[in-house]
């Protein structure tokens, strides 16, 4: 076993922290907007920051610079139109990713716009290099095609003497989509170019983990480059531009590292069943117990936030700290646990033979740290996220050759 301070053990600890934090800083709160051909489209609250910044910068800086002599109101309407055009362009870009992914049998949960653009949410990795290549290439190609169409409409507007705000916004969106395509083609994972690079490396060596590690190095290096550029731009006086480069660099570097972590987790948990990690002797609470006694004898004694609730040996559901918090404090002594028990559902239970990677993904996305494990409807154990991740870190410590994991922490 590696020494306690070995690089692999340090990496395992960071992996636990990253997975427990549900991916770090990517999203704050998703707001669903509409469905498009079966895909849920939504925005993260952070996208509102991008929308405000873009409208302001377009109306107060970019459009007045290139299209002089218009009214202030016209510039602001152009700014709003440019922001909405960006919104539509990103959705189109990610939608093309999603369509190709669906064509190759990959699950796509939806499209979310956030402060750094948009993301097509894919819970698992592609099954072969060609699938990844075509899915990744679909985004930049769609942006190039959209830029070409906008260029054509913009030129028609100039020739036909359309109002300046109309063809001006069209030309701006043309350049925006061209820039979006070029930026995404940079071979820095997890950008589209980085995924294209990974698909090529994967095809050559047949090793997804190795290909992800190499592509993630490029992503991490590109992120660092943007961070340094942001600092330099900030020092030279462009405060907003410097902060923007810095934040994008941080995001890309973090996303590259976590993407590689996900592939490592997938390899380690491949084929493992939940019954291997569960506690087969869970502490249960009787439904007839009063809430005050449950708090004192179970929550404060065992320090868990969820306990299975039973009645005469039959599982009724579970009681959580959140449910107890909803009961007024002066009613704890008179309220039975059974009256506030959360019934067994797919959100708080899991089958003993479920795939460990699927369950880990589900727990992270739902924010669950404990699940009741059932076999034919019978309670056979309790699964905790921390126990699962502890096994994960231990297995990486014991089986790693020391190279892949160390590389991501430099």
- Express each pLDDT in 47-64 by its tens digit: 888 888 889 888 888 888
pLDDT category at 392 given cuts 50, 70, 90 is: confident
Look up residue 54 and give its two tokens. Answer: 């873009």
| Whole-structure pTM value | 0.73
pLDDT category at 19 given cuts 50, 70, 90 is: very low
Give start-end residues of each CATH 3.10.580.10 domain in the chain: 274-395
Per-residue pLDDT at 45: 81
Distance (Å, rounded) from C-alpha 193 to C-alpha 334? 62
What's the Cα-to-Cα distance from 103 to each of 129, 199, 283, rounded to whole Å? 15, 17, 46
CATH, domain range 274-395: 3.10.580.10
Higher pLDDT, 3 or 140: 140
Residues 6+ apart with CB under 8 A from 296: none
Per-residue pLDDT at 399: 63
pLDDT category at 222 given cuts 50, 70, 90 is: very high
Q: What's the residue count for the chain?
A: 410
Mean pLDDT, residues 326-351 taken together: 88
Per-residue pLDDT at 152: 92
Residues 6+ apart with CB under 8 A from 240: 53, 57
Per-residue pLDDT at 401: 53
Q: pLDDT digit string (tens) for 398-410?
A: 765 554 443 333 2
> Is the backbone peptide bond immediately before 190 cis, with ω within 30 degrees of 0?
yes
Higher pLDDT, 92 or 10: 92
> What share of the chain has pLDDT > 90, as a percent?
28
pLDDT category at 2 given cuts 50, 70, 90 is: very low
Give the pairing type, strands 30-36 and 39-44.
antiparallel
Give the pairing type, strands 370-375 and 349-351.
parallel
Mean pLDDT, residues 355-370 taken together: 80
pLDDT category at 25 given cuts 50, 70, 90 is: very low
Residue 6: pLDDT above 50? no
């Amino acid at each position: 076993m590696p020494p306690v301070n070995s690089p692999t053990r340090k990496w395992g600890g960071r992996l636990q922290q990253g997975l427990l934090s549900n991916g770090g800083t990517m999203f704050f709160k998703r707001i669903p907007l509409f469905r498009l051909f079966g895909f849920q489209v939504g925005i993260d609250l952070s996208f509102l920051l991008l929308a405000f910044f873009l409208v302001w910068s377009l109306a107060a800086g970019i459009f007045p610079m290139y299209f002089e002599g218009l009214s202030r109101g016209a510039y602001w309407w152009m700014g709003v139109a440019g922001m909405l055009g960006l919104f539509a362009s990103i959705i189109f870009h990610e939608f093309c990713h999603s369509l190709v992914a669906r064509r190759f049998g990959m699950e796509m949960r939806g499209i979310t716009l956030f402060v750094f653009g948009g993301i097509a949410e894919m819970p698992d990795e592609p099954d072969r290099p060609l699938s990844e290549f075509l899915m990744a290439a679909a985004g930049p190609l769609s942006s190039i095609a959209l830029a070409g169409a906008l260029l054509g409409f913009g030129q028609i507007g100039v020739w036909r003497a359309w109002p300046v705000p109309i063809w001006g916004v069209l030309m701006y969106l043309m350049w925006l989509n061209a820039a979006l395509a070029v930026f995404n083609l940079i071979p820095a994972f997890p950008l589209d170019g980085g995924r294209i690079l990974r698909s090529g490396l994967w095809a050559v060596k047949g090793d997804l983990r190795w290909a992800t590690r190499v592509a993630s190095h490029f992503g991490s290096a590109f992120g660092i480059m943007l961070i340094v550029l942001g600092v330099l731009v900030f020092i030279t006086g462009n405060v907003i531009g410097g902060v923007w480069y810095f934040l994008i660099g941080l995001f890309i570097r973090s996303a590259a590292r976590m993407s590689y972590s996900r592939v490592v987790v997938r390899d380690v948990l491949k084929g493992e069943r939940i019954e291997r990690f569960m506690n087969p002797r869970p502490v249960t609470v009787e439904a007839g117990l009063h809430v005050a006694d449950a708090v004192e004898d179970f929550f404060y004694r065992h320090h868990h936030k969820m306990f299975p609730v039973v009645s005469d040996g039959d599982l009724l559901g579970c009681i959580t700290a959140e449910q107890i918090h909803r009961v007024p404090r002066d009613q704890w002594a008179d309220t039975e646990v059974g009256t506030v028990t959360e019934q067994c559902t797919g959100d708080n239970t899991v089958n003993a033979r479920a795939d460990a990677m699927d369950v880990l993904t589900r727990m992270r996305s739902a924010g669950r740290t404990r699940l009741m494990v059932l076999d034919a409807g019978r309670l056979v154990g309790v699964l905790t996220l921390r126990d699962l991740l502890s096994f994960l870190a231990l297995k990486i410590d014991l089986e790693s050759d020391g190279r892949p994991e160390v590389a991501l922490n430099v």
